């Protein structure tokens, strides 16, 4: 207590002394330029006299500032900008006019081999994600960026074969992904992780990754859970990379002339054949995933920029099952489930995407761009699989089942949009308009026959019924209109810096004639006396605008599924309340940042859904309300010098009320823990170890083709640890002292699921003639070794 009083008295004395000097001293004018490490001007940087934050100003669009204050024996100038390191300059007996030019390094994790000095604070809810360690660990799903996203606070994943993730109680469909400002789509018919193929994001082409787990800005579209914003790079010289592993191969080449023109081309091939061989179901797996991406940027003059983006992806999955044996249960109630198969599965997911953007730069603070984009997907899922099974239950369930599907979907989404940005002192205004046309046609024909001990199920002596039957043909053509405007404003006060981001979003869909308005706002404050602390509050009205899957109202009557499209479906709605804090600190002169965020989401107009592996089947009606509440914590920094590691933990509960009955939502989980840790071998930095771990408590589940009210069971918790060891065989310089272009080459070995945990993502339900049901777990992949090689030029 006495120490706090002494500190307060010293601060008061300093302030009184400064006031006395100001009363008797003479004025001095200080001016100069604030730039970054590339000598580019930093706009709107704060410049003030230490101890008197009211005596301050901000830099203009050229990074220039002018400040007039009262001279003293010693004046300390403070230069700061969110996202950059703070710098101070002390002036002794300044008089008349003084020129002070300053350089602010960016406060972020630097590139490999460069000393890391700071971690970056951000006033908004979007956080930068560091991808430096990603290349030192293989990825079972073939994504890359998503595997790092899945380790962030508030994010959970329960399937290593899938690129999908849940954020704070939201479904897969509630996450939006933007690439160069354009919202991306993924195939719609995918049922399981092994069908997914490659992620739309190529990590070799990425320059910047930003992610928000809630409370995001108005410029991002109508999703309720999260935003992943990817920006592809513009190379300034020749660069290339190649990699190969037991899971596939990739090649990349980029070239740029330093501002006028740049281009990137990348190829990827993925196969999870060896990985799928570790599951309980044996057979001939033949997954083949390929994509080609390109990004070209041309600036014919300083006022114009033309960007072209393209992607071609073919994801094919062929499977001929042979047999399966699954052991499950407890030591006191152990079971053995065996199946002998006959049949095949053939799935095709072929997509095309293209975009063109023309941007006019009126000046350094005003831009206006016009964007055209198109997405097309052709998907088919076909299988005829018969299985004869035996389960050592009390009644020895023996039977046969046959599954049949002929599902096809074609979708085309085209859009044209205009977006702009304007900046002036203390403000950054962004706005946009988008017109989008969607055309989707789908034909589904699937059925399942099940026989138990010679009796068909459901057992109805006068007739032969299928346990499940669906036949549907649907087509939809609609138009969406979207618009937004948002502003970011900041101002220095004597108590600290206040940053506000506020905006509003409007959307209308022609199919259901619905218009939605979504206001959003974030307020951040950095105390002057503790600038390593940032406090943040976000709130807003977020909608989940329905897409094709949400329209499908599927009614099951005696095993027969009737599908209709509901023209009266409305957008699901979520009101976000988030309070967070970021705190920067140092241990042994190494930078760290701890973050905490508490949130509450009030949900209504919910459209309940069932989960089958990674496929979501909606009720097609707004019949539920609910909530999500939780706390996310994360520590990030240099646990080992010159590396970046982090760990996050989340506590959450989410429920919904359907027809008056409260049930957990399909994503309800109490605890989620993620870790990403990097280290070097002792005495050398040419050996590197990367560890990634997940723990997520079990999700609700229940019998298939039933309502959410019967999802009363809990899966076992998801536990997985992947380990990667990488070695750089070549030194930076050769025997003659020259730098070797192949120096950044790595040989690596990965051990996936090193603990050998039998994780479960879904269940196969066995029903005997007495209508007893047994949930047989579908185990995910087991322990698997992967060898990889990477060379970067």
Q: How far apart are CA 351 and CA 412, in angstroms?
A: 10
Report the pLDDT value the prediction gives residue 365, as an integer from 0 to 100. Answer: 86
Q: How far apart are CA 587 and CA 661, in angstroms?
A: 51
Joined tokens for residue 750: 């990965």
Integer CA distances (angstroms), 478 to 56, 257, 268, 443, 506, in order: 53, 43, 34, 18, 17
Q: How far apart are CA 568 and CA 642, in angstroms?
A: 56
Q: Where are the alpha helices (DSSP H) in 566-610?
A: none
Report the pLDDT value the prediction gives residue 393, as an integer from 0 to 100. Answer: 67
Q: How far apart are CA 37 and CA 591, in angstroms?
A: 20
Joined tokens for residue 704: 């298939």
> CB 640: neighbour CB atoms within 10 A?
15
Q: How far apart are CA 23 and CA 40, in angstroms?
A: 38
Q: Please tell me the number of Cα atoms within 13 Å of 113 on its side-chain side.
A: 6
Q: Where are the beta strands (DSSP E) in 277-365?
A: 281-301, 304-329, 334-363
Q: What are phi and psi of 172, to 5 degrees?
A: -60, -40
Q: How far apart are CA 232 and CA 228, in angstroms?
A: 13
Q: Tell me the mean pLDDT per 10 residues along the chain, length 793.
A: 48 45 65 84 82 72 83 83 81 86 71 43 79 73 79 89 90 93 89 83 91 93 92 92 92 90 95 87 91 96 95 94 89 86 94 97 92 96 92 74 94 97 88 97 91 70 78 94 94 85 96 96 90 92 93 80 90 96 90 94 94 84 96 93 90 94 93 93 87 93 81 90 90 65 84 92 78 84 91 87
pTM of the full predicted structure?
0.86
Report the pLDDT value the prediction gives residue 578, as an integer from 0 to 100. Answer: 96
**In 3D, which of 415, 301, 432, 300 has the Cα closest to residue 369?**
432
Report the pLDDT value the prediction gives residue 289, as an integer from 0 to 100. Answer: 93
Q: Where are the alpha helices (DSSP H) in 698-789?
A: none
Report the pLDDT value the prediction gives residue 121, as an integer from 0 to 100. Answer: 64
Report the pLDDT value the prediction gives residue 176, as an integer from 0 to 100. Answer: 93
Q: Which residues pair with 27 in a beta bridge?
A: 70
Report the pLDDT value the prediction gives residue 339, as an integer from 0 to 100. Answer: 92
The pairs formed by 544-547 with CB atoms below 8 angstroms and a separation of 24 or more are 544/173, 544/174, 544/222, 544/223, 544/224, 544/571, 544/572, 544/573, 544/574, 544/607, 545/221, 545/222, 545/480, 545/507, 545/509, 545/516, 545/571, 546/509, 546/512, 546/570, 546/571, 546/572, 546/607, 547/173
Q: What are phi and psi of 295, to 5 degrees?
A: -145, 120
Q: What are phi and psi of 710, to 5 degrees?
A: -100, 5
Report the pLDDT value the prediction gives residue 566, as an integer from 0 to 100. Answer: 92
Report the pLDDT value the prediction gives residue 111, as an integer from 0 to 100. Answer: 32
Report the pLDDT value the prediction gives residue 736, as an integer from 0 to 100. Answer: 62
């Amino acid at each position: 207590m006495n120490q706090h009083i002494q500190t307060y008295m010293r601060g008061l004395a300093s302030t009184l002394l400064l006031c006395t000097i100001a009363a008797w001293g003479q004025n001095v004018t200080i001016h100069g330029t604030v730039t970054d490490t590339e000598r580019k001007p930093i706009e709107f940087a704060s410049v003030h006299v230490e101890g008197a934050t009211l005596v301050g100003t901000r830099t203009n669009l050229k990074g220039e500032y002018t400040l007039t204050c009262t001279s003293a024996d010693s004046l300390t100038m403070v230069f700061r900008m969110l996202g950059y390191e703070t710098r101070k300059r002390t002036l002794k007996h300044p008089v008349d006019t003084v020129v002070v030019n300053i350089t602010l390094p960016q406060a972020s994790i630097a590139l490999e081999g460069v000393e890391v000095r700071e971690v970056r604070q951000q006033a908004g809810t979007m956080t930068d994600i560091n991808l430096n360690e990603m290349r030192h660990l293989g990825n079972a799903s073939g994504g890359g960026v998503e595997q790092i996203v899945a380790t962030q606070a508030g994010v959970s994943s329960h399937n290593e074969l899938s690129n999908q993730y849940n954020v704070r109680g939201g479904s897969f469909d509630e996450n939006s992904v933007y690439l160069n400002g354009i919202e991306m789509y993924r195939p719609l018919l995918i049922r399981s992780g092994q069908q997914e193929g490659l992620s739309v994001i190529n990590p070799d082409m990425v320059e910047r990754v930003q992610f928000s787990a809630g409370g995001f800005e108005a410029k991002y579209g109508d999703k309720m859970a999260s935003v992943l914003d990817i920006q592809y790079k513009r190379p300034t010289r020749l660069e290339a990379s190649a990699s190969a592993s037991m899971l596939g191969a990739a090649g990349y080449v980029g070239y740029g002339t330093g501002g006028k023109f740049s281009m990137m081309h990348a190829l990827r091939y993925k196969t999870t054949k060896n990985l799928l061989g570790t599951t309980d179901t044996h057979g001939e797996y033949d997954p083949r995933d390929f994509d080609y991406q390109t990004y070209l940027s041309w600036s014919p003059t300083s006022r114009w920029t033309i960007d072209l983006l393209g992607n071609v992806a073919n994801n094919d999955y062929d499977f001929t099952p042979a047999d399966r044996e699954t052991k499950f249960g407890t030591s006191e109630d152990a079971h053995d489930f065996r199946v002998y198969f006959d049949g095949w599965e053939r799935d095709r997911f072929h997509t095309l995407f293209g975009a063109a953007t023309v941007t006019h730069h009126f000046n350094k603070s005003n831009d206006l761009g016009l964007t055209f984009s198109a997405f097309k997907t052709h998907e088919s899922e076909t299988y005829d699989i018969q299985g004869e099974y035996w389960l050592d239950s009390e009644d020895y369930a023996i039977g046969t089942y046959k599954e049949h599907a002929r599902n096809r979907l074609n979708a085309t989404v085209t859009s044209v949009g205009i977006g702009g940005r304007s900046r002036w002192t203390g403000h950054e205004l962004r706005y946009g308009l988008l017109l989008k046309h969607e055309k989707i046609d789908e034909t589904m024909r699937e059925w399942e026959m099940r026989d138990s001990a010679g009796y068909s199920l459901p057992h109805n002596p006068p007739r032969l019924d299928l346990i499940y039957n669906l036949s549907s043909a649907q087509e939809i053509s609609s138009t969406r209109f979207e618009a937004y405007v948002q502003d970011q404003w900041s101002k220095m006060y004597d108590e600290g810096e206040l940053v506000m981001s506020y905006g509003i979003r409007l959307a209308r869909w022609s199919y259901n004639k619905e218009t939605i308005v979504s206001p959003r706002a974030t307020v951040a404050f950095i105390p002057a006396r503790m600038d390593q602390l940032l406090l943040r509050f976000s709130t807003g009205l977020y909608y989940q605008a329905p897409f094709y899957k949400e329209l499908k109202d599927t009614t099951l009557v005696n095993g027969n599924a009737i599908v209709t499209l509901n023209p009266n479906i409305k957008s699901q709605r979520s009101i976000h309340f988030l309070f967070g804090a970021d705190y920067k600190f140092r241990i042994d002169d190494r930078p760290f940042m701890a973050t905490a965020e508490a949130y509450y989401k009030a949900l209504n107009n919910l459209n309940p859904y069932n989960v089958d592996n990674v496929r979501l089947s909606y009720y097609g009606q707004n019949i539920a309300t609910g909530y999500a509440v939780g706390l996310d914590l994360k520590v990030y920094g240099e646990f080992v010098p010159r590396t970046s590691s982090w760990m996050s933990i989340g506590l959450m509960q989410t429920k919904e009320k359907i027809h008056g009955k409260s049930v957990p939502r399909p994503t309800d989980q109490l605890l989620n823990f993620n870790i990403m840790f990097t280290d070097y071998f002792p005495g050398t930095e040419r050996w590197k170890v990367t560890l990634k771990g997940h723990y997520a408590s079990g999700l609700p589940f229940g019998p298939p083709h039933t309502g959410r009210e019967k999802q009363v069971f809990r899966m076992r918790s998801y536990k997985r640890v992947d380990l990667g060891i990488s070695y750089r065989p070549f030194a930076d310089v050769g025997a003659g002292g020259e730098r070797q272009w192949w120096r950044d080459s790595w040989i690596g070995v990965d051990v996936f699921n090193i603990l050998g945990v039998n994780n479960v993502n879904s269940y196969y339900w066995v029903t005997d003639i007495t209508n007893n049901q047994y949930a047989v777990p579908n185990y995910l992949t087991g322990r698997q070794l992967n060898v990889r090689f990477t060379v970067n030029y």
